[in-house]
Amino acid sequence: MRRAVAAAIACLSVGAAVVSAEPPPPGAASCSGCHPASPRVASPVPRLAGRDQASIVRAMQEFRSGARTGTVMDRIAKGFTDEEIQAIAAWLAAQP
Amino acid sequence: MKTGRREFLKLGVAAAATGLLPRPARGQGAASRVVVVGGGFAGASCARALRQADPRIAVTLVEANATFTACPFSNEVIAGLRELSAQQFTYERVAADGISIVPSAATAVDVAGRSVALAGGARLAYDRLVLAPGIDIRWGALPGYDEAAAAQMPHAWRAGEQTVLLRRQLEAMADGGVVVISAPANPFRCPPGPYERASLIAHYLKAKKPRSKLLLLDAKDAFSKQKLFQAAWADLYPGLIEWVPLSKGGNVTAVDAATRTFVTDFGRHQAAVANVIPPQKAGRIAELAGVADKTGWCPIDPITFESRLQPAVHVIGDSAIAGAMPKSAFAANAQAKTCAAAVARLLAGGAPSTPKLINTCYSLVAPDYGISIAGVYAPAGGQLAEVPGAGGVSPADAPRSTRAAEAALAQAWFRTITGEVFG
């Protein structure tokens, strides 16, 4: 058991030293210009980190189709494909 | 043929000996070093995003000023709607991310030797350099407009003392005075900025000095969010703002600071308060590093923001030629995060992925009347191009409730971006 824990710790430390944070997919890095990434920032614009992936996808698709009205998100969503929206939503959902 | 580990190593040694391998990523013993010059929206964002992308990177931020004064919303300071202190931010939280802050000015870049010289003589070695120096005024480009003239006819295009000076001049002006603003040809920092400024000064004049007028002399025949601004001016400030485009004699060819006079091809305009928004160029260190071209701005690769002119030097924010992206704080922040991801990948020996970037810019026509422009950008033809079908400005026929909502969102955006970058 002790050996297994030691091995796990070794794996963890190697992982931490070698693996960098997953880079944001195309477009995702821009979101935090309005949607705060930092939990210290208070804003009426919702924080997206850790949100459910499917709900982010649905919101983007509705902004894009016009089913949901926005002030700027309707204009921004039109610049992204379904695949890009999926990737952005998955990355945001995985953020702490 | 199967290549064993030993053969692979031999190949590597041979390739290294003949110089065929790219510069290797630094091992764990020696962290990669990135120096970022300039602590504005671009530079401070990039420094923090680099640490987040890969905490092994040693990041140094070179910034001569202990306090950053933000330009977005500085037009509200000029119009007496907000104090300059609301625009000011310090670097404690940036330093707390493990970024070494060097309170000095970069004076030269040795691109071949990969080091930055600082005022006082010290040198900082780097593996990759990020330049985010913002803008410099192109002194001498407008005859009569030099640093002494700016004390009489403030530009207020780099926020700080100049912002306060313009506000004081407006406050001291007698009712009935003519305020003259001159706007430059493209490109320049904050394309809708001169028109937001005219709007908010008009807001101040309407309330405090209702017999006054505002003349906006423009070196262009079209400007950002033009229809929205002009419709709002007709609605909110009828007869107060006169916009003179290039084709009607708006191009200012010289100024006389002693008499606060603007000279155009069509005549002379004497102002009670004169605001010269002068021609601009990339911040001086860009020129010294050899990354600015003859336009005065810095051509870059749209995937990595690496300079087209010098290796291992990246340029972000207002000083970069970012294709269709405007010179805005939002764009600077988006570019900074994209550049940081690319630099981290390059330092790790990988290939950067193709990015997509967003810009959103709000302008206030009145404190409760906001309009916006948004765009989505992707590399195309070696530049950042607008993604077709996306972006655009606020609807022309929106009700006042939408304008009020966008004004509130503008305020929220400022709190978010400054919280993200400095908080």
Closest CA in chain B for residue A43: B412
Contact B344 A20 (CB under 8 A): yes
CA B378 and chain centroid, separation:
19
Contact B409 A71 (CB under 8 A): yes
**ipTM score for this prediction:** 0.90
Residues of B in contact with A31 (CB under 8 A): 358
Residues 6+ apart with CB under 8 A from B399: none
Q: What angle do CA B88, B335, A96 make, to 5 degrees?
A: 80
Contact A78 B56 (CB under 8 A): no
Which residues pair with residue B392 across a beta bridge?
A: B374
User: Whole-prediction pTM value?
Assistant: 0.91
**Helix (H, G, I), strand (E, B), or coil: what is residue B360?**
strand
Nearest to A20 among B348, B409, B419 (CB): B348
**Closest CA of chain A from B330, distance in Å:** 6
Closest CA in chain B for residue A30: B334
Nearest to A38 among B53, B360, B419 (CB): B419
Residue of A64, A71, A88 best to disrupt the B interface, most CBs of B under 10 A: A71
CATH code of A69's domain:
1.10.760.10
**Closest CA of chain A from B134, distance in Å:** 18
Contact B358 A79 (CB under 8 A): yes
Residues 6+ apart with CB under 8 A from B181: B194, B197, B198, B201, B214, B215, B216, B217, B275, B277
CATH code of the region B27-64+104-138+279-353: 3.50.50.60
**Closest CA of chain B from A7, distance in Å:** 21
Q: Are A95 and A81 in contact (CB under 8 A)?
A: no
Q: So where are chain B's domains?
A: 27-64+104-138+279-353, 149-278
**What is the C-alpha to C-alpha distance for residues B178 and B253, in angstroms, rounded to an integer?**
19
**Helix (H, G, I), strand (E, B), or coil: what is residue B336?**
helix
Residues of A in contact with B387 (CB under 8 A): 79
Closest CA in chain B for residue A19: B54
User: What total of structural domains would you count in chain A?
Assistant: 1
CATH code of the region B149-278: 3.50.50.60
Q: What angle do CA A74, A78, A81 make, to 5 degrees?
A: 135
Residues in chain A: 96
Residues 6+ apart with CB under 8 A from B292: B281, B282, B286, B298, B309, B319
Domain housing A82:
2-94
Nearest to A34 among B387, B405, B413 (CB): B413
Residues 6+ apart with CB under 8 A from B45: B332, B333, B336, B337, B340, B420, B421
Contact B423 A41 (CB under 8 A): yes
Going residue by residue through chain B (423 aa), what tens digit of pLDDT does each one get? 344 444 444 443 343 333 333 444 444 457 899 999 999 999 999 999 999 999 999 999 999 999 999 999 999 999 999 999 999 999 999 999 999 999 999 999 999 999 999 999 999 999 999 999 999 999 999 999 999 999 999 999 999 999 999 999 999 999 999 999 999 999 999 999 999 999 999 999 999 999 999 999 999 999 999 999 999 999 999 999 999 999 999 999 999 999 999 999 999 999 999 999 999 999 999 999 999 999 999 999 999 999 999 999 999 999 999 999 999 999 999 999 999 999 999 999 999 999 999 999 999 999 999 999 999 999 999 999 999 999 999 999 999 999 999 999 999 999 999 999 999
Judge whether B27-64+104-138+279-353 and B149-278 match in fold.
yes
Closest CA in chain A for residue B339: A29
**What is the C-alpha to C-alpha distance for residues B21 and B238, in angstroms, rounded to an integer?**
67
Residues of A in contact with B420 (CB under 8 A): 32-33, 36-38, 41
Q: Are B304 and B343 in contact (CB under 8 A)?
A: yes
Residue B365's CB is within 10 A of a number of other CB atoms, namely: 27
Which conformational region is residue B293 in: left (phi greater than 0), alpha (psi within -120 to 50 degrees), or beta? beta
